[in-house]
């Protein structure tokens, strides 16, 4: 397959073609996901939970993210590669630039930052220096203690308005992609239609431009999966077949189904 670039993903949004994204943490799974037709891979700081056994993403370091990004990059063939910037690695634009450079040099095509409007200056700084940014809003796991737990965001009219305006302003600041986590489906749809950049959803309904799941969750390895998770290993004989099923379900719009969505 031809390498998927940021321009490819933007074109897919414009044409209404769904984008399938999956987290990945090593070379072997990167190869399998590529063979299964995945569009983009996210080296997520979720590795702190699914690989290291922590109860949050907060302990993950820049060095660990760099290591895993390089591992995934070596197994990657065509997928667009996004890497998470871990907790407190982008507390200022200068700090963000220094740490994002490490992830890009490790093989990432884009970095992802969690936050709110305070991300604006860092997004501008990174973009001006040739580093594409995916802004992550809604439920932001790195701020789980501020949010009071892993809760759906944007349920009230005021919260929904703030998230919509934040998405628009971060796009204007130069964010090249947006990730929405755990927000009501109707809000996610409204945000996706209001900005030109691709919007990735996780627990954000079926009308975002892309879907992402944590690899271990979609393989049924989590004993207590979130509402928005589907086990794609059911009735499958291989991991490659499960990922192919996930990609197909994203592409044809059958995932996420109604039971995976937050509707208020």
Nearest to 250 by CA among 39, 32, 14: 39
State phi, psi for 191 to the nearest 5 degrees: -65, -45
> Kind and range of the H or E element at 68?
helix 62-75
CA distance 214 to 153: 19
Tell me the binding residues for 3-methyl-2-oxobutanoate: 45-46, 84, 112
Q: Kindly report the length of the chain.
A: 264
| Active-site entry in 157, 181, 241, 244 | 181
Burial of 151 (0-12, 13-18, 19+ CB in 10 A): exposed
Nearby residues of 74 by Cβ (< 8 Å), 6 or more positions away: 27, 30, 107
Tell me the binding residues for Mg(2+): 45, 84, 114
181 in catalytic set: yes
CA distance 185 to 40: 22
CA distance 264 to 254: 21
List active site positions. Answer: 181
């Amino acid at each position: 397959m031809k390498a998927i670039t940021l321009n490819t993903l933007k074109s897919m949004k414009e044409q209404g073609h769904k984008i399938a994204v999956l987290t990945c943490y090593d070379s072997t799974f990167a190869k399998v996901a590529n063979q299964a037709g995945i569009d983009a891979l996210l080296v997520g700081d979720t590795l702190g939970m699914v690989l290291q056994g922590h109860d949050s993403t907060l302990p993950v370091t820049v060095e660990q993210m760099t290591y895993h990004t390089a591992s995934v990059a070596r197994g990657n063939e065509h997928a667009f590669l996004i890497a998470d910037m871990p907790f407190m690695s982008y507390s200022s634009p200068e700090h963000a630039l220094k740490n994002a450079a490490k992830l890009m040099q490790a093989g990432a095509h884009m970095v992802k930052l969690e936050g709110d409007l305070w991300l604006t200056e860092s997004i501008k700084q990174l973009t001006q220096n040739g580093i594409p940014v995916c802004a992550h809003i809604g439920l932001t796991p790195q701020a789980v203690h501020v949010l009071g737990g892993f809760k759906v965001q944007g349920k009230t009219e005021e919260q929904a308005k703030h998230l919509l305006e934040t998405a628009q302003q971060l796009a204007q600041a130069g964010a090249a992609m947006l990730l929405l986590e755990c927000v009501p489906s109707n809000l996610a749809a409204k945000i996706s239609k209001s900005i030109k950049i691709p919007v990735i959803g996780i627990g954000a309904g079926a009308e975002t431009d892309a879907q992402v799941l944590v690899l271990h969750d979609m393989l049924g390895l989590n004993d207590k999966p979130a509402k928005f998770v589907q086990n794609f290993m059911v009735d499958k004989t291989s991991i490659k077949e499960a990922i192919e099923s996930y990609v197909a379900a994203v592409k044809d719009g059958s995932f996420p189904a109604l039971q995976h969505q937050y509707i208020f």
